[in-house]
Structure 1
Amino acid sequence: MVAPVLFIVIDFIIIGRPHIGNIYNYLLTFLLGIFLLFIAAIFNQGYLVQSENDLTI
């Protein structure tokens, strides 16, 4: 959730755009952030399973 919030903060405050120009950029950034959260959760679960069972590759 950091990426969409950071994108909006940079767009509104730093660049100074008073309106939402292209909603597709915000939507794409939001969906990418959600996707990355799921990927991070999957890798975290895999790491926990590997450390519990002493699995080696």
Structure 2
Amino acid sequence: MADLLAQGFEPSERVAEQIMERLEKEKNYIPTAERARRDYAYALLKEYRKYVKDRKG
């Protein structure tokens, strides 16, 4: 997440997709069902928002 923030990426659906793509490339399990992927992306985005808020103050 630090690299995304350093590159200036603000929390958005696109950032959640990028995080998921990176995780998949690193061989992390990502659900294949559409609803599960959407829920997973939502959880990632929620955590990224908290991360950004904590870092920016």
Q: Per the shorter chain, which TM-score range?
A: 0.3 to 0.5
TM-score normalized by the length of structure 2: 0.44
TM-score normalized by the length of structure 1: 0.44
